[in-house]
Amino acid sequence: MTLGRRQFLGAMAASATTMLFPRSAANAIAPQNPAASGLALPPTAPWGLAAPGAVPSVQTIPDAPALLPQALAALQMHHARIAERDVVGVVDFSQPSREPRFHLVDIAGGRVLSTHLVSHGKGSDPGNSGWVQRLSNRLGSEASCSGAFVTGPTYVGKHGRSRRLFGLDPENDQADVRGIVIHAASYVDNDMAASQGRIGRSQGCFAVSQREIGHVLEALGPGRLLFAAR
């Protein structure tokens, strides 16, 4: 069969390349698929996984919170918006406010850093029972909202040093407009939790104790995931 001019030139070019660059040299300079070649994948995420959207196993994290698999799924879903993936915050609103239900999890180190009391909104618990009855994203609801948040910068406001939050899901995309943040409050207190069976309520913010706010803000720095659900 007679080759067309373009096919003939292409064949000649390929032959010349093979002669100038033996297969071993060509492989050395060409991009490779590490998985296909058997090479170890270089880490591109703080926990050492190959892909920024990959989800690490929670099997090796002692005392991992029950919501951690959901939080890690959210981390995968929103990985393009979450720059820092070493530490995540997990808030379990299915637990009463008297229980430490705000978990800081060191994904990179495979451990739970700490757990904390955290408030829920007045609109989520109208009867002040200490249990979340409902969640809302509505402006003026004074309720807590669920979903994935990315942490923003700190600022100093009426509650002292606080951290901004930006909702990433339809159920919390009004968080910034509503002023939902992480801040300290005197009504979040271990003695109150023990004596009254609950702590105080916020206007939808994630309020922690004044004694622990510094640690929470530093551990859950900007560009990290906070995940809340019930």
Contact by Cβ (8 Å): 147, 230: no
**How high is the pLDDT of residue 55?**
53
- Separation in Å, CA 111 to CA 68, 73, 103, 108: 12, 18, 11, 8
Asked whether residue 173 is assigned to any structural domain, the reply reads yes
Q: Which tokens is 53 given?
A: 């959207």
Asked whether residue 59 is assigned to any structural domain, the reply reads no
Percent of the residues in the chain that have a pLDDT greater than 90, as a whole number: 73
> What average pLDDT does the segment 24-50 reach?
32
Do 75 and 16 share a structural domain?
no
Residue range(s) defining the domain that contains residue 20: 5-30
Do 112 and 23 share a structural domain?
no
**How high is the pLDDT of residue 57?**
61
Contact by Cβ (8 Å): 139, 178: yes
Q: How many domains does the chain have?
A: 2
Which range among 9-23, 32-46, 60-74 shows the weakest confidence by mean pLDDT?
32-46
Asked whether the predicted pLDDT for residue 28 surpasses 50, the reply is no
Q: Which tokens is 8 given?
A: 């003939």
Do 77 and 25 share a structural domain?
no
Return all residues near 116 (Cβ < 8 A) that are at least 6 apart: 100, 102, 104, 208, 209, 212, 216
Asked whether residue 102 is assigned to any structural domain, the reply reads yes
Q: State the pLDDT confidence band at 222, using cuts at 50, 70 and 90.
A: very high
Q: Which tokens is 40 given?
A: 């170890």
Q: State the pLDDT confidence band at 72, using cuts at 50, 70 and 90.
A: very high
Asked whether residue 48 is assigned to any structural domain, the reply reads no
Which range among 41-55, 124-138, 195-209 shows the weakest confidence by mean pLDDT?
41-55
Asked whether residue 50 is assigned to any structural domain, the reply reads no
Asked whether residue 215 is assigned to any structural domain, the reply reads yes
Asked whether the predicted pLDDT for residue 9 surpasses 50, the reply is no
Identify which has the larger pLDDT, 7 or 104. Answer: 104
Asked whether residue 52 is assigned to any structural domain, the reply reads no
Asked whether residue 106 is assigned to any structural domain, the reply reads yes
Identify which has the larger pLDDT, 8 or 163. Answer: 163
pLDDT averaged over the chain?
Answer: 82
